[in-house]
Amino acid sequence: MRQALVQTLSELAAVDGRIILLTADLGYSILEPFAKKFPDRFLNVGVAEQNMLGVATGLAEAGFIPFVYSIAPFASLRPYEFIRNGPILHHLPVRILGIGGGFDYEFSGPSHYSLEDIGVMRIQPGLRVIVPADHQQARSALRATWDQPGPTYYRFGKDDQSIVPGLTGQFELGKAQFVRDGKDIALVAMGSIALEAAKAAEDLQKQGVSVSLVIVASVNPPPGKDLAEHLSHFRQVVTVEEHYTVGGLGSLVAETTADHGLGCKVRRLGVAQPLDGTSGRRAVFNEKYGISAPAIVRACLEVLQ
């Protein structure tokens, strides 16, 4: 989604001079088109994420819309307190771009994996949290939210090719996207892993299981009402996220069902154990932690038994 991000941001920056892009020395070979087009509005602040968020706060106070770019854990966890006391407390339009959710940074290993960013971000009521499922949705989500008041955290996956079937780039703040109808079980997915959920739904259909697929990209504000209405028709709900099972999408869905007094069971798929220090292909890790398409199929069949 990085190409979609840079392209969309360049289009927006061409019509709004308030947009300024800061990076903490990451995005080599990705951000150059923006930097070339807007040399006065691109700033590599060096490897200093805390300062980047502080500087962005100062810029936003003066009327700019700063976008700050780094790999997701460095954009979210390292400067977390600066985000909390800066753009959130001051209610300023700083855009935090966390690149690469889950295991996107493959062989870079655990320091680069992002499995708790959504959890720590969505507990802040004053922060929008947006997690597109594919590059088309990334584009429309950015277009729908870039000039909103107050701060936003975006988690953009690295995949710039795949498309979630049926999503067609739809996005609406505070709403979920219902991309597949079904009656036996509801799958709810967030981020790039939605592609695996979509594959799983297809496989299950072949096995005679009718699966509904819901995409949650607007994590905060959450799609409370329409999600609850949809889930009220199901006995079994399975959530899928490339994130720890605590604090992210699974928690959001569990909270929604509890808040609305729904009778469904919620099975949360995600990473539920500490990382073991190994690194490798995203597909291998998704299988290992039970969020690959085959693993999702297995989990769905299990809960339906």
Partner 1 sequence: MTNPQVNPSMTGQAIRRIILEQSKRANVGHIGCCLSIADLISSLYGRILNIPAHDDPQRDRFILGKGQAALALYSALHLKGLISKEELNTFCGNESLLGVHPEHRQRGIDFSTGSLGQGLSMAAGAALAARLQGSSRRIFALLSDAECNEGSVWEAAMFSAHHKLSNLIAFIDLNGQQAFGYTKDVMDLSPLRARWEAFGWDAHDIDGHDGDAIVKAVKGLKGEKPHILVARTTFGKGVSFMENKIKWHYWPMSDEEYRRALAEIEIPS
Convert 98-124 into a string of H (helix), E (strand) and C (coil).
Answer: EECCECCCHHHCHHHCECCHHHHHHCC
DSSP letter (8 states) at residue 279: -
Is 76 a residue that touches partner 1 (CB under 8 A)?
A: no
| Residue closer to partner 1, measured from CB, 74 or 82 | 82
| Residue closer to partner 1, measured from CB, 89 or 246 | 89
| Residue closer to partner 1, measured from CB, 93 or 102 | 93
Instruction: List binders of partner 1 among 24-63 (CB under 8 A).
Output: 40, 43, 45-46, 48, 50-51, 53-63
Bridge partners (DSSP) listed for residue 67: 21, 95
Preceding omega of 221 cis (within 30 degrees of 0): yes
| Residue closer to partner 1, measured from CB, 60 or 194 | 60
Q: How far is the CB of 20 from partner 1 (least distance, A)?
A: 8
Tokens 């700063």 locate to: 66
Rounded Cα gap, residues 266 and 228, in angstroms:
12
7 to 26: interface string for partner 1, x by CB under 8 A: -------------x------
Q: Which of the stretches 80-88, 201-209, 213-221, 223-231 binds partner 1 when contact is defined by CB under 8 A?
A: 80-88
| Residue closer to partner 1, measured from CB, 123 or 272 | 123
Long-range contacts of 246-252 (CB under 8 A, 24+ apart): 246/119, 247/116, 247/118, 247/119, 247/120, 247/122, 247/123, 248/116, 248/118, 248/119, 248/122, 248/190, 249/118, 249/188, 249/189, 249/190, 249/216, 249/219, 251/119, 252/122, 252/216, 252/219, 252/222
Q: How far is the CB of 54 from partner 1 (least distance, A)?
A: 2
Instruction: List binders of partner 1 among 263-302 (CB under 8 A).
Output: none
| Residue closer to partner 1, measured from CB, 42 or 285 | 42
* Residue 40 φ/ψ, nearest 5 degrees: -80, -10
Q: How far is the CB of 129 from partner 1 (least distance, A)?
A: 22
Is 85 a residue that touches partner 1 (CB under 8 A)?
A: yes
Kindly list the residues in this chain that would bind partner 1 in the complex (CB under 8 A): 20, 40, 43, 45-46, 48, 50-51, 53-64, 66, 81-82, 85-86, 89-90
